[in-house]
Structure 1
Amino acid sequence: MNEAAFKPAAGANALLTADDVRAAARRIAGAVVRTPTFHSKTLSKITGAEIYVKFENHQFTAAYKERGALNALLQLTEEQREHGVIAASAGNHAQGLSYHGTRLGIPVTIVMPRTTPVVKVMQTEAVGGTVVLEGESFDEALTHARKLQIELGLTFVPPFDDPYVAAGQGTVALEMLEDVPDLEILAIPVGGGGLASGMGVIARDLNPDIQLIGVEAELYPSMFNLLKGATRPVGGDTLAEGIAVFEPGKMTSVVLGELLDEFLLVSEHQIEGALALLLQIEKTVVEGAGAAGLAAVLAYPDHFKGRKVGIVLSGGNIDTRLLANVLLRDLARSGRLARLRLVLQDRPGSLMRVSQVFYRYNVNIVEIVHQRVFTHLPAKGLVTEIECEARDSEQLNALVEALRAEGFEVSQMELN
């Protein structure tokens, strides 16, 4: 990458220490799942690196955020516990804080934008949180949360930019390195920076030679811009919404400025591919942010080849319809699913001739759509779109060539 090197930072050790992470581990022990770290033979073969996967999507709320939320809750005074806590979040922080707050008898209020999907509101309420919908954006929800904090005397618990929260998140790396002490690289998703700073501090303490690589979505390079002095645009509709942050943490950016060895950006296409691969190979569901580490390993193989690499499946909260869409798009990119557009004559037998070619090449027809009116063709012409399922791209290409040999005009609709 051409951007400048990381800006120097000072004072990170005073903000967050390895002992903070160890203390957090003692506090939260037994109250969160000690998730497994498994070696993946298949992903290792695919990537050329030795891949070790930490399954944080196995937490009760399906995300690592529980760790930091619980550690922060356990620091509260009795008076703070009685009054309760508040946060602005439409994601995993809301559920983690609500679940553990309710378990500890601490009232939890979560302010979410009005645009938050109903399923996320319901999930947060299901684990005990009181949801307040306010504003059209996260920033507006945050402003309202700060207002309620003062009016009601609540304690605000940030999602990432807090030493107690970051220390709790760091217990992920503490467990990983207990299970696999000789890990050489950690590829860590970065949004606000809480997970990466906590993991980085303890990992560097346990193994001074370990390489720490931050991974951010290409559409939201906010921490990348800050640390590298870059000016990439920030914003867009990303699959990795868990790390889609406009403003990175002030504390976490200082810590990461000293810790990270490299920062990599991954595209939406790469995140989708990694997510689909994890489902196919590891039989595990992750959200977009949870697939970012593997996406980086696949996108930048030279950084990881031949090394022992730890990746964190940071969360598994993904809408089922979105997951289905991602998987179908992956099938299309691999050539196993396609939509072909054929120009036919509008007369008996035309479609039968087409279907015979599909039968001959053993390609399954999923859907057929005829369009007779809204075309630029003569009145006796029609456009037929056929969605089909093939074994692989070679079989699909052979089918297309055979259709053209039969005299049909064929084009394939491409994904971006």
Structure 2
Amino acid sequence: MSNSKPFKLENSYVSMEDIYIANQKLQGVIKKTELIESPVFSSECGNRVFIKPENLQMTGAFKIRGAYNKLSKLNELEKSRGVIASSAGNHAQGIGYAAQLLGVKATVVMPATTPIIKVEATKNYGAEVVLYGDSYDEAYKKARELEAEHNYVFVHPFDDLDVIIGQGTVALDILNDLEDVDEILVPIGGGGLASGVAFVAKMLKPSIKVIGVEPDGACCIKESLAQGKVTELEKVDTIADGAAVKRPGTLTFEFIREFVDEIITVSDFDIAEAILLLIEKHKLITEGAGALSLAGLKKLQSKGKKVVCLVSGGNIDILTISAIINKALVFRGRLFCFTVNLPDKPGELLHVAKILSDSNANVIKLDHNQSKVMDSFKQVQLEVTVETNGHCHVEEIESAFQKHGIEIQKIY
């Protein structure tokens, strides 16, 4: 049963009519990202899991929805002033693309640590990019300075009602595709996406459970809810750079406190593992923040439910994704690296190779080094990296060496 009653905020209110108007504006601007059922993630958590792939959106993330809705509501005078935004990447591209479509000059301040792919993509949409600071919060302060200096219109990445309304259209898509959805997992950085999605979900179907997922190293919403007020973290540290926010918005805190049922947090290892599985099983690329909802599946208490995981973005550079994949492979027991000291005589390397072959381990790297065994001239150290099928397989290999009286030292 739907609820059409507007939600009253401190200085405004929002209704489903606002969401429907925004959704109409976005037709022809955004892609329709249809739900993808996932057998692998379903089996991982015991629920029927569907992926909402906003990483396939026009700008590689959901942010285009809120950015376009905001810019489309500016009057001619505001448009002539130009807009400015601060962003870790995806809001920047959303602003750039929306500004290009609407003929508005855009400037975006991004942290100096922002992946090159996001910086270049933003420039390609015609936006002027200013790199400043090491975090989103430092970039935000710089953008506010430039706003005052040049009389720009500031477009907040999450703490803006028109932006939140635009993001809420994601939930309309979800309910159109899967009317009987039980739970929606949504990533949280500053909270704009979670605010919009939770509001729409609860208005249209109050029985839906909305769960926000934050990184362990940047859980500003969880901390704020615990304190009962908007609270700033001392520091953030996570591979989910798009969710590395110290302080949530005042608006988003109101929305989340009212409409989100639960907040869970996940580790960087959980995030890396989710990225790996999404690539391997669905051939989809996601960034760290985009994978938060999938990483959160293991924390669910429910079983047998229809669960939608919102994959919010896929803008990640190749070097970062390579490092994440390697760590995820280790985490899942798919890579095993060890050293072994051997007598410096013919046949020893062949002996090691035979043990590995009998254990069905695929050698992918081998380093034979005489100088690493400093206390003996008669031994060499062998460093071996093998491809494995999981933690049980790693244990089998370790046991095989023990049976042959060979001591190995695990590196990872």
Judge which range, 382-391 or 327-336, deviates more.
327-336
Normalised by the length of structure 2, the TM-score is 0.92
Matched, 1:282 2:292: no
Judge which range, 203-212 or 116-125, deviates more.
116-125
Distance apart, 1:236 and its partner CA: 4.4
Distance apart, 1:399 and its partner CA: 2.9
Alpha-carbon distance change, 336 to 118 in structure 1, aligned in 2, over 3 angstroms:
closer
Matched, 1:259 2:259: yes
SS of match in other structure, 2:366: strand
Taking only aligned residues, the RMSD between alpha carbons, in angstroms, comes to 2.2
Distance apart, 1:374 and its partner CA: 4.0
2:338–2:411 CA contact under 8 A, matched in 1: yes
Is there any run of 5+ residues in structure 1 with no aligned partner, and where?
Answer: 1-8
Per-residue deviation, residues 336-365 of structure 1 (Å, max 9, x unmatched): 321011111223332222122223333221
1:12–1:254 CA contact under 8 A, matched in 2: no
2:233 and 2:14 mapped to 1: Cα distance? 30
Alpha-carbon distance change, 178 to 263 in structure 1, aligned in 2, over 3 angstroms:
same
1:84–1:155 CA contact under 8 A, matched in 2: yes
1:240 and 1:136 mapped to 2: Cα distance? 14
SS of match in other structure, 2:174: helix
Counterpart for residue 144 of structure 1: 142
2:304 and 2:341 mapped to 1: Cα distance? 50
SS of match in other structure, 1:36: coil
Distance apart, 1:13 and its partner CA: 10
1:320 and 1:267 mapped to 2: Cα distance? 21
SS of match in other structure, 1:348: coil
Counterpart for residue 125 of structure 2: 127
2:240 and 2:369 mapped to 1: Cα distance? 37
1:153 partner letter: N
**Residues 238-317 of structure 1: matches in 2 within 5 Å?**
238-298=238-298, 300-302=299-301, 304-317=302-315
SS of match in other structure, 1:181: coil
Per-residue deviation, residues 23-76 of structure 1 (Å, max 9, x unmatched): 211222221112112332343233211212111111111100000000000011
SS of match in other structure, 1:172: helix
Per-residue deviation, residues 145-164 of structure 1 (Å, max 9, x unmatched): 11221222211101000000
2:9 and 2:148 mapped to 1: Cα distance? 30
2:111–2:139 CA contact under 8 A, matched in 1: yes
1:331 and 1:117 mapped to 2: Cα distance? 23
Matched, 1:61 2:59: yes
Per-residue deviation, residues 84-126 of structure 1 (Å, max 9, x unmatched): 1111113100011101111221111111233333332211111
1:68 and 1:372 mapped to 2: Cα distance? 60
1:381 and 1:203 mapped to 2: Cα distance? 66
Alpha-carbon distance change, 133 to 290 in structure 1, aligned in 2, over 3 angstroms:
closer
Distance apart, 1:306 and its partner CA: 1.4
1:339–1:412 CA contact under 8 A, matched in 2: yes
SS of match in other structure, 1:353: helix
1:17–1:201 CA contact under 8 A, matched in 2: no
Normalised by the length of structure 1, the TM-score is 0.91
Counterpart for residue 177 of structure 1: 175
Counterpart for residue 212 of structure 1: 210
Is there any run of 5+ residues in structure 2 with no aligned partner, and where?
Answer: 1-6
Counterpart for residue 6 of structure 1: none
2:360 and 2:374 mapped to 1: Cα distance? 32
How many residues align? The count is 404
Counterpart for residue 346 of structure 1: 344
Question: What is the aligned counterpart of 1:30 among 28, 31, 35?
Answer: 28
Judge which range, 310-319 or 402-411, deviates more.
402-411
Per-residue deviation, residues 361-391 of structure 1 (Å, max 9, x unmatched): 3322111123333445323223211011234
SS of match in other structure, 2:49: strand
1:135 and 1:393 mapped to 2: Cα distance? 41
